[in-house]
Homo-oligomer: A and B are copies of this chain.
């Protein structure tokens, strides 16, 4: 990106005080900013930074009056923080969507179609009968298996792997190393102690506006026609395990290293913290909130609970018990003393 201070002020509906023709090419924090960068000042606590910053421009409240000399240009707006956020987003769109075109070599199979303005990085692989929408970015080393479908404006970062038949909606972002559609973990025990693989023939479906972090794995469903499904707006972090036939409800957010076992159905607007484990074939109610490292082995029927521990308890209940857990050696000692004293009292009473 490279804009003049004037262009940025216009974008934000702000007014420039000072030089308005300098070029801005980056956003930064006020205390770290260098020439050519733009920062913002919102909290008066940080006002002293504005007299030292090397930023070419600083976004400030429209009623801001400097108490000393300021070398930066000022852009006066109603709400500096939200204006800065707008810039952040614009900048992010610019860098996300600056890649367009087809780098050489890359591979595309028979009967596959791609939309307008797409990016196909070198060494990316698109199988047969694949349909890809407009403005899609397929970074280097990414693999899109046969018969897959990808919506508009979706970004597959380097080395994403979509097994054959995967369906990804619009406006999705998938980070490096993430695998969609690998075989579910299904094995039938045989009489001789070995296991026979159960063929896994379903697929993975992602609706719209989904973000998935790096090195996460989502297995396909077992039967043809079935799918492991993430509903619109789901956000998954890194290194998460989603087993076969799981369904994750709208706008549910899951933090890193959490694992969800086969056929479990997570509700809408749930929040699962990191390293949580959820057993198979459960139903978790909408708006459930689960603390880090918790383990869930039974369905959660009531909406809006906050749970923690293994197996999970209500957060407050868990911490009340855990407070006593720390005193257990003392409790054990006191119990023994009580038993001894009572025995002594009993014998006294008897002997009287």
Q: Give chain A's interface residues, CB within 8 Å of chain B.
A: 26-29, 32-33, 37, 88-89, 91-92, 95, 103, 105, 107, 121-123, 125, 139-141, 143, 145, 157-159, 161, 163-164, 173, 175-177, 179, 182-183, 185, 187, 193-195, 197-201, 209, 211, 213-215, 217, 219, 223-226, 233, 235, 237-239, 241, 243, 250-251, 253, 255-257, 259, 261, 268-269, 274-275, 277, 279, 292-293, 295, 297, 310-311, 313, 317, 320-329, 331-332, 334-335, 338-339, 341-342, 345-346, 348-349, 352
Contact A332 B341 (CB under 8 A): no
Measured between beta carbons, the chain B residues less than 8 angstroms from A239 are: 215, 217, 239, 241, 259
Chain A binding site: helix, strand, loop or mixed by DSSP?
loop
Separation in Å of the A29 CB from the closest CB of chain B? 6
Contact A179 B175 (CB under 8 A): yes
Residue from B183, B225, B237 in contact with A29 in the complex, judged by beta carbons closer than 8 Å: B225
Q: Output the nearest chain B residue to A158 by Cβ-Cβ distance.
A: B143
Residue from B89, B163, B241, B322 in contact with A274 in the complex, judged by beta carbons closer than 8 Å: B241
Contact B335 A331 (CB under 8 A): yes
Measured between beta carbons, the chain B residues less than 8 angstroms from A241 are: 237-239, 256-257, 274
> In the complex, given contacts A88-B198, A159-B159, A214-B217, what are 17 additional A-B residue pairs having Cβ atoms less than 8 angstroms apart?
A29-B226, A91-B201, A91-B224, A123-B141, A143-B176, A158-B161, A173-B197, A182-B238, A185-B235, A185-B238, A257-B257, A259-B274, A261-B274, A324-B328, A331-B335, A335-B335, A342-B342
* 8 pairs of residues in contact across A and B, judged by CB atoms under 8 Å: A26-B225, A176-B182, A177-B179, A255-B261, A317-B326, A321-B326, A338-B338, A338-B342
Contact A143 B140 (CB under 8 A): yes
A223 to B250, CA, bound (A): 28
Separation in Å of the A295 CB from the closest CB of chain B? 5
Contact A295 B293 (CB under 8 A): yes
Residue from B88, B195, B321, B332 in contact with A253 in the complex, judged by beta carbons closer than 8 Å: B195
A198 to B259, CA, bound (A): 25
Residue from B195, B211, B346 in contact with A197 in the complex, judged by beta carbons closer than 8 Å: B211
